[in-house]
Amino acid sequence: MKIGFIGLGIMGKPMSKNLIKAKYELIVMDKNPEVTKELSSLGATIAVSPAEVAKTVDVIITMLPNSPHVKEVVLGKNCIMEGGKPGLTIIDMSSIAPIVSRELAAELEKVGMNMLDAPVSGGEPKAIEGTLSVMVGGKTEIFTKYYDLMKSMAASVVRVGEIGSGNIAKLCNQIIVAINISAVSEAMILAQKAGVSPELVYNAIRGGLAGSTVLDAKAPMMMNRKFAPGFRIDLHIKDLNNVLDTSHNLGIPLPLSAAVMEMMQALKADGLGNEDHSSLVKYYEKMANITVGH
């Protein structure tokens, strides 16, 4: 099976490397020539446009920042629809607005092409390990056909429902992650301010009900002051924008999501948008005039 892969950023590059390890033939495209050169050295073919990718593959994976980028690749100049043929499948593994996934799928269906929305969770470490969680929306037969392909990058691949459902699941995921990081930050600040070692508190609570993947991934980053992005504040703001837009369209209030969104906006205003979302602790440090781990 010949695979196209468009978008080789923090997540896309390790995901595409795992496809190469799984012996898939890969044609890649990205605006960064250094990363395409790196993939070429591993055996991938380089394309210069989405249309060129679409001409020679059976399925295309897109891993892009947000809805406008995916729309441009699918429907814009030199796009997938221009180069592709009926029967081509697009697996969009970006995290975008569910309504956009549905709009794109409808346009693709008009020309006999298929789409799955299949956003991922796990950040860069799990992308490198090939242990991502994938939440998929789309037709059952298309999901089944490409399950093994997605599984080569992931520990878990679950069909949630029809097109758009994958991104609804991802928004739910991002709500829980954002609020969880906020709770971890509050706990670390409380321990530090009370004169109790945050590290010992972390070790004491991680085996109980407060234990979580987020706690284990983010508390050590906070304590060790390592905020290189596995998932940037800017990207989580993008996801929370999609969360709140979707919730407002549905007429439901999400007060905790809105509160964390404002915290992240404050960090962005302080120039921290490119740091990992564990930098949420810095919002609390600024208010409490104390630094975790010091």
What residues are labeled active site?
Answer: 170
Residue type, 245: D
φ, ψ for residue 3 (rounded to 5)?
-115, 135
Beta bridge partners of residue 92, listed in sequence order = 62, 117
Closest by CA to 257, choosing from 278, 272, 242, is 242
8 A C-beta contact, residue 54 and residue 80 = yes
What is the secondary structure of 116-173 as a DSSP string? EE--EESHHHHHHHT-EEEEEES-HHHHHHTHHHHHTTEEEEEEEESTTHHHHHHHHH
Q: Which helix (H) or strand (E) holds 91?
A: strand 89-92
Give burial (CB, 10 Å; 0-12/13-18/19+) of 262: exposed
Rg (CA), the chain: 20
